[in-house]
Amino acid sequence: MATSGWFLTLTLALVSVLPLCVAFSAESPTDRRILVLVDDLSIRSSHSIFFDSLKSRGFDLDFKLADDKRLALQRYGKYLYDGLILFSPSIKSFGGSLNTAAVLDFVDSGHDLILSADETASDLIRDIAIECGIDFDEDQSSVVIDHISYAVSEKEGDHTLIASDDFIRSDVILGEKKIEAPVLFRGIGHSLNAANSLVLKVLSASPSAYSANPNSELSSPPSLTGTAISLVSVVQARNNARIVISGSLDLFSNRYEKSGNEQFVTELSKWVFHERGHLKAVNVKHNKAGEKAEPAMYRINDDLEYSVEIYEWSGTSWKPYVADDVQVQFYMMSPYVLRTLSHDQKGRYSTSFKVPDVYGVFQFKVEYQKLGYTSLSLSKQIPVRPYKHNEYERFIKAAYPYYGASFSMHHLSVPQIAGQSSIYLLSSDRTNFLWNFDFEKQISEL
């Protein structure tokens, strides 16, 4: 009886805690529930290394055929998933309520996406990529060919399985450990939309690569050549939603042993599902130098201290974020003060500065945008007042001559007035008005 009571409590506790810990949240920003859409369920086995690595890191994968009639990303206005993996390059149209707009809405509401195309990529997949700032080669039959850096195999192939090690130099996107072996890639190339500043090339082709149909003669110069071809690209949207777009589905498969693929896709998936590079800023504090409490207002020329704590999500816990390039602005229409914050290695960033000699409504602003990291945008409003009338410095030594001069002018005019008046008025033969001034007479005359 007692045991069953315990069991019930435990189950209730688990049930009540479970929805909190499995979903993406501000406190635990890693995605947990992921929908994987596939053309063919055999991808589960052919790409098992990639999926197993996700599962072992605690992700809850939900495999569905892309044309499943009951597909839905949200129910009753709430998203059922935190991330979406589209491993269905040839799908013409999704089943259920899913379409391009639904996928883009999913991303617009801050969720993450891995999209993988290959030479069979449908217009639907291409459209989603275009919306993300990525243009796959328009020629449907072309693939990336490289006659110099290709994977050597027993039979002389058409050099469409290319090897590339031209990675983006970013520890946050690809992990601190260097990817030793080149990545093997068989698929289509894409170019980045120049108007989109959020999209980044993560893996680009070698200078000798080009995008063409391997089975036909090259009649005209290929439209995409060299390092302009991106093989894998990422996007971090302004709402910190992350997207990975690859021109090859095989990139994620188990097929290429002895290549950098496994490490590459694992590290990339850590980034895209917010296991790395997700920052949070807490405990924004400011105070007058030497004081503890946060004032409601500063005075011009006050000395102040500002501090903020920044942590990076490591997938399981918040670790102090260490960087030397976090800056704070003291901002009113434009930054009056711009300071680089110094840190104590434990995530606390601080600086001190003097309030400028300008009063008005200022803001403390931290606008931190670093490649691969989620952007931080903090602002805290604070008014700055001028000196009160009794706060000005009085009796300044350097001003004594001026005081003397104006007092001498003022006080000299008194004896001067007295002297002049006596000289004028006493010596004057007219009315001696100073000595015999008759108010009553004057008033009655008026």
Partner 1 sequence: MVKSSGSDDARALIRSLRVAYSATPTTLKIIDLYVCFAVLTALIQAVYMGMVGSFPFNSFLSGELSCIGTAVLAVCLRIQVNKENKEFKDLPLERAFADFVLCNLVLHLVIMNFLG
Subset of residues 132 to 191 that bind partner 1, contact rule: CB under 8 A: none
Greatest Cα pair distance, the chain, in angstroms, is 135
CB of 417 to partner 1, least distance (A): 6
Of 6 and 424, CB closest to partner 1: 424
**Which amino acid, 47?**
H
Number of residues that bind partner 1 (CB under 8 A): 30
Q: Strand 242-246 to strand 112-116: parallel, antiparallel, or no bridges (unpaired)? A: parallel
Pick the binder of partner 1 from 6, 7, 433, 435 (CB under 8 A).
433
Geometric angle at alpha carbon 174, from 173 and 177, rounded to 5°: 135
Pick the binder of partner 1 from 109, 301, 421, 442 (CB under 8 A).
421
20 binds partner 1 (CB under 8 A): no
446 binds partner 1 (CB under 8 A): no
From 72-80, 95-103, 251-259, 423-431, give the range in contact with partner 1 by CB under 8 A.
423-431
Q: Any idea of the CA torsion for 267, 268, 272, 273, to the nearest 10 degrees?
A: -30
How many Å apart are CA 203 and CA 223, to the nearest integer? 19
Of 148 and 417, CB closest to partner 1: 417
**Helix/strand/coil for 130:** helix
Q: Are 357 and 379 in contact (CB under 8 A)?
A: no
**Which amino acid, 352?**
S
Pick the binder of partner 1 from 11, 283, 416, 442 (CB under 8 A).
416
19 binds partner 1 (CB under 8 A): no
How many Å apart are CA 243 and CA 264, to the nearest integer? 15
CB of 397 to partner 1, least distance (A): 10
CB of 384 to partner 1, least distance (A): 22
Subset of residues 386 to 405 that bind partner 1, contact rule: CB under 8 A: 392-394, 396, 398-399, 401-405
Contacts of 98 (CB under 8 A, 6+ apart): 37, 71, 72, 73
Mark residues 341-380: x for contact with partner 1 by CB under 8 A, - for none. ----------------------------------------
Residues near partner 1 (CB under 8 A) are 392-394, 396, 398-399, 401-406, 408-410, 412-413, 416-417, 419-421, 423-425, 427-428, 430-431, 433
